[in-house]
Amino acid sequence: MLTLKQSRRLQSVLVGTSSWAIAALIFFPILWMILTSFKTEIDAFATPPQFFFMPTLENYLLINERSDYFSFAWNSLLISSVATLLCMLIAVPAAYSMAFFESRHTKRTLLWMLSTKMLPPVGVLMPIYLICQSLGLLDSRIALIVIYTLINLPIVVWMIYTYFKDIPVDILEAARLDGATTLQEIGRVLLPIARGGLASTMLLSLILCWNEAFWSLNLTSSAAAPLTALVASYSSPEGLFWAKLSAVSTLACAPILIFGWISQKQLVRGLSFGAVK
């Protein structure tokens, strides 16, 4: 017969082992990609797959010669961050008035906004493509920034709305009685309180922009192409170059992956969409 303490310990060991096993299984493709990127092409294609090998940097050097990684990365960074900021700028006022000056239409407006996300991008690909063409915006960062802002807007509004909903109205009323204007009320009182929620909204928006691969593949070719396009350019099936492909993939994902790891606590805490009550 196990004592209570022993059975708790046993439970912890069992839960720990199975959690680690599942995590290892789910993480494996990423680990394998990173490992493969340090192999020679021959090692990368070897059967059975090699777990121990002489690491080499040749793939990374070759990629840097063949294409300008930093120009792609700069496009990704610029497009994602500007689109995210723009989106926040439009969404915060909307969420503010929806959360604190609720009317009969608020809920319907929110659901309608979400429903615009149900519209599959392919449904409007041709018009957007032709509009961009006639405005000379094909292969431009501006087009992607505008599109990313719009496609993330519903989710961002909704997330911020749920955070604002958690803030007691009394605090804002108090500020208002002290003579604060609407702008002061938002800037001095509301934003500092909702800082955590806003940060995780921005994180999510950044991740979604960084990884967006429909519009970036269809609307850009070189000048404004972000990292998704760089990866796609290495995916043509000529020859054996798993190692180079892995290296370019690792390069494309590394910034957002590291960023995600650092901020995951914040993201986990914030990603509730009002689901946690």
Partner 1 sequence: MTTSTLDTHLKSAPAAAGGKRRSLKPGWFLVSPSVALLLLWMIIPLGMTIYFSLIRYNLLYPGENQFVGLENFEYFLTDAGFMPGALNTLALVGSVLLISVVFGVLIAALLEACEFWGRGIVRVLLISPFFIMPTVSALVWKNLIFHPVSGILAAIWKFFGAQPVDWLAQHPLLSIIFIVSWQWLPFAILILMTAMQSLDQDQKEAARLDGAGPIAIFWHLTLPHLARPIAVVVMIETIFLLSVFAEIFTTTSGGPGFESTNLAYLIYNHALLQFDVGMASAGGLIAVVIANLAAIVLIRMIGKNLTNQ
| Min CB(3)–partner 1 separation in Å | 16
Q: Could you say which of 6, 64, 115, 221 contacts partner 1 (CB under 8 A)?
A: 115
How many angstroms separate the CA atoms of 119 and 151, rounded? 10
Q: Could you say which of 137, 224, 225, 253 contacts partner 1 (CB under 8 A)?
A: 253
228 touches partner 1 by CB under 8 A: yes
Q: Could you say which of 40, 184, 266, 272 contacts partner 1 (CB under 8 A)?
A: 272
The residue range among 46-54, 57-65, 66-74, 187-195 that interacts with partner 1, by the rule CB under 8 A, is 46-54
The residue range among 54-62, 65-73, 132-140, 224-232 that interacts with partner 1, by the rule CB under 8 A, is 224-232
How many angstroms separate the CA atoms of 97 and 105, rounded? 12
| Min CB(1)–partner 1 separation in Å | 18
DSSP the chain: ---HHHHHHHHHHHHHHHHHHHHHHHHHHHHHHHHHHTS-HHHHH-SSPPSS-----HHHHHHHHHS-HHHHHHHHHHHHHHHHHHHHHHHHHHHHHHHHS--TTHHHHHHHHHHHTTS-GGGGHHHHHHHHHHTT-TT-HHHHHHHHHHHHHHHHHHHHHHHHHTS-HHHHHHHHHTT--HHHIIIIIIHHHTHHHHHHHHHHHHHHHHH--SHHHHH-SSTT--HHHHHHHT-S-SS--HHHHHHHHHHHHHHHHHHHHHHHHHHHHHTTTT---
Interface characters, 23-42, with partner 1 (x: CB under 8 A): xx-xxxxx-xx--x------
Q: Could you say which of 1, 111, 148, 219 contacts partner 1 (CB under 8 A)?
A: 111
The residue range among 52-60, 134-142, 190-198, 228-236 that interacts with partner 1, by the rule CB under 8 A, is 228-236
Residue 28, token pair as written in the block: 């494996």
Choose between 1 and 183: whose C-beta lies nearer to partner 1. 183
The residue range among 19-27, 67-75, 137-145, 189-197 that interacts with partner 1, by the rule CB under 8 A, is 19-27
6 touches partner 1 by CB under 8 A: no
20 touches partner 1 by CB under 8 A: yes
Q: Could you say which of 73, 193, 257, 266 contacts partner 1 (CB under 8 A)?
A: 257
Site for partner 1 in 124-183 (CB under 8 A): 124-128, 130-131, 150, 153-155, 157, 165, 169, 182
Site for partner 1 in 55-94 (CB under 8 A): 90-91, 93-94
How many angstroms separate the CA atoms of 203 and 192, rounded? 17
